[in-house]
Structure 1
Amino acid sequence: MKVLFVIQGEGRGHLTQALSLKQMLHNEGHEVVGVLVGKSPSRQLPGFFCDKIGVPVFPFESPNFLPSAKNKQVTILRSVGYNVCRGHKYLRSIAYINEMIKETKADVVVNFYEMLTGLTYLLFRPKAIMICIAHQYMFLHPEFEFPELNKISLASLKFFTKVTAIGSRKKLALSFRKMREVPRKGIVVVPPLLRNEVIEAKVAQGDYLHGYILNSGFSEEVKAWHTTHPQVCMHFFWDKKGAPQTVEIDEKLCFHQLDDAKFVQYMAGAKAYATTAGFESVCEAMYLNKPVLMVPTHIEQVCNAHDAMISGAGVANSTFDLDKLLTLSDTHRSNETFRHWVNQSSWLIMREFRSDLLMEPYVKTNFRRFATNWVYRISHRLPL
């Protein structure tokens, strides 16, 4: 089976998920024929992704949130205005996605939450089957618990998520924990897509804090905290355009450009982890038994942080107040239930790519899905 990936390239989460899924598909004998990555001109595609994906990567211009003037929180009104003005470029991107689906002769398109993929299926109706995969599809689950949010903002988030999935055969909703499937909405709840490097990492309890900041403006908050806590060692990662591989503020604080191997290495040996609440890195921290401080930059991450707290990941805050993270690290306990859930990801996700489940509507295959799940859990002595 030929598979084409289309990825929303904001941050690192969808990119590392694509690396994991590509390996799973390869192990099952499928071929990933190309990767399309939607990004804004202000973002650079991390070098580790292009090096490791092993197939041609084609960037295209896609709508993205704009950060504030201080490059921290996103600004919704500016983002909407900016993206409306660039609508003609996005129409060209939609046509490009359609042409690439034809050119690669893909049987299946895997959409990692890229809105323009849904619009491609709305306007051109490609023959390739589309499967959507992202944590954000949990927002369409009737039992997902949202934090206190503005009703208009919440409705907009759900609408955006639905647009990304127009024309999809099914939506694989990555989740911190097992929840029931929703056949009438085509929602299949699956574990996070963590890379082998994370699964196989040797965990240690170091004396430094690890972190990832999506928008480089947050580095000023980290530096400010560091001036009052100069004895605490910290290693933070960012994707600041034009910055060298490592910016050494002093012997205790360093900022590193995104590098997947180095990122996992520092995560595995850290005392605790601070992040802008992206789903993927929070899952990595949970799997490696690191407490997490989450500082959301937009509504999706607010929802991620709330969901992660329910699952025992850590705490959310409006700023990088690392005192809270140090306090949390003294009482944090490992989450073995989460680790068991993650360890089932390969078979649960690959099940959805079997030809018999792909070619029929989701609701018709629900009994077989339930039966295979029941047999697997009995054979592996897992709770039903």
Structure 2
Amino acid sequence: MKIFYAVQATGNGHIARAKELIPYIQRYGQVDVFLSGNNSNLKVDLPVKYQSNGVSLFYGNRGGLDYFKMAKELSLFNIIKEARSLPVDQYDLVINDFESITSLACKIKQVPSIGFGHQASFKSSLTPRPNKKDWMGEFILNNYASATKYIGLHFEQYDEFIYSPIIKEQVLLASPKNQGHISVYLSHYSDEVVASYLNQLPNQLFHLFSKKEKTVNQRANILYMPIDNALFTESMINAAGVITGAGFETPAEALYLNKKLLCVPIKGQYEQLCNAAALKNFGVPILANLNANFSKQVEAWLNGANQTQLHLSFNTGTIVEKLMETAASMHVHQEEFNQYELDHLSLKFR
């Protein structure tokens, strides 16, 4: 079976998830990755066959999106041209992790696809939203990368097609410790802005993961570290707590490890506000921004009760089985993708 897997490379979460998933998906056939976007800081160790700048999100220095840079990078002509040339019709299965060019290509060529990932969970009205809905944010979540069917991932199973987060093997096999430091990843702020607040707590050691730093070095109470998946995960496993945005993968892993978690959502990113609403149900404090009260907020957070721990109802292998069962139900190239083959593989790899 030939499998086309579109991976959004805006941010790091989609790539980190793909690294965990692909070995399981490869049990069912050959996987070719389409990597779209140019705003990830992670090393890409995936079977990439196609690549595009795609549609990327860029962040400013003070917690929000850089709309000018986003508009400058956007070319509708190129997107349509790339969608027409993308060979989705040459594959038995198209998996789309919130990637717009693949979605358009499938519409143009009338190819069925599965929308897979965290954003797919927002197809359900039962998935948490903030008290004030954003109609534009809802429109983007529902139409940016539409598909034939959906497999969603979220902190809890809010609907029947929503499953557990994909947790990295490094986290699943970890023996968490508390070595006293706090792991910090706030990509929507500059290092200088974040450091000015962390320096207000001189007796607390912070591991600050930076887009600029190439080596590990310490200045005052901050250990600056380059963005590296394994390095960040090791820091988080041994941390007293984690301060990050209201994304999906990092908060999920922090909650799974039963680490104290403090989230600062990206301003203007509706999906993060939705995640923040879900995280509040776990008892996670949410800060609207970094402000003059930051040191007091961090001290109160560290001295407060732990949040509710996240437990996995489905493992990665089971989620991929559900993905393939969904593909079978769409009758994608039935001669190569029949139920007998799925049942045989399911039994073989359990």
TM bucket, shorter chain: 0.7 to 0.9
Write the mapping of 1:1-384 to structure 2, written as runs, cut at 5 A. Answer: 1-26=1-26, 29-40=27-38, 43-47=39-43, 49-50=44-45, 53=46, 55-56=47-48, 58-68=50-60, 70=61, 72-76=63-67, 78=68, 81-82=71-72, 86-96=75-85, 98-99=86-87, 101-102=88-89, 105-126=90-111, 129-149=112-132, 154-166=134-146, 168-181=147-160, 188-217=161-190, 219-240=191-212, 243-246=213-216, 248-250=217-219, 252-297=221-266, 298-312=269-283, 314-320=284-290, 321=294, 323-333=296-306, 335-336=308-309, 338-341=310-313, 343-354=314-325, 357-360=328-331
Q: Cα distance, 1:340 vs. partner?
A: 3.6
Distance 1:169 1:140, change over 3 A: closer
The residue identity in structure 2 corresponding to 1:123 is I
In the superposition, the TM-score normalised over structure 1's length comes to 0.77
Q: Cα distance, 1:360 vs. partner?
A: 4.9
The residue identity in structure 2 corresponding to 1:4 is F
The residue identity in structure 1 corresponding to 2:72 is Y
Distance 1:301 1:223 in 2: 23
Q: Extract unaligned runs of 5+ from structure 1.
A: 182-187, 362-384
Structure-2 residue corresponding to 1:377: none
Spell out, residue by residue over 1:61-97, the C-alpha distance to the aligned partner (whole angstroms, 9 max, x if none). Answer: 11223333x3631155x367436x522222233234x
Larger helix fraction of residues: 1
Distance 2:299 2:151 in 1: 35
In the superposition, the TM-score normalised over structure 2's length comes to 0.84
Distance 1:220 1:263, change over 3 A: same
Conserved? CA contact 2:244–2:263, under 8 Å: yes
Conserved? CA contact 1:169–1:358, under 8 Å: no
- Root-mean-square deviation (Å): 2.7
Conserved? CA contact 1:6–1:117, under 8 Å: yes
Conserved? CA contact 1:46–1:239, under 8 Å: no
Distance 2:14 2:228 in 1: 15
Give me the identity figure in percent: 20
Q: Which moved more, 1:31-40 or 1:348-357?
A: 348-357
Q: Cα distance, 1:357 vs. partner?
A: 3.8
Distance 1:137 1:33 in 2: 21
Distance 1:211 1:32 in 2: 37
Distance 1:355 1:142, change over 3 A: closer
Distance 1:294 1:220, change over 3 A: same
Conserved? CA contact 1:291–1:325, under 8 Å: no
Q: Cα distance, 1:267 vs. partner?
A: 0.6
Conserved? CA contact 2:22–2:31, under 8 Å: no
Q: Cα distance, 1:119 vs. partner?
A: 1.4
Distance 1:358 1:81, change over 3 A: same
Q: Extract unaligned runs of 5+ from structure 2.
A: 333-350
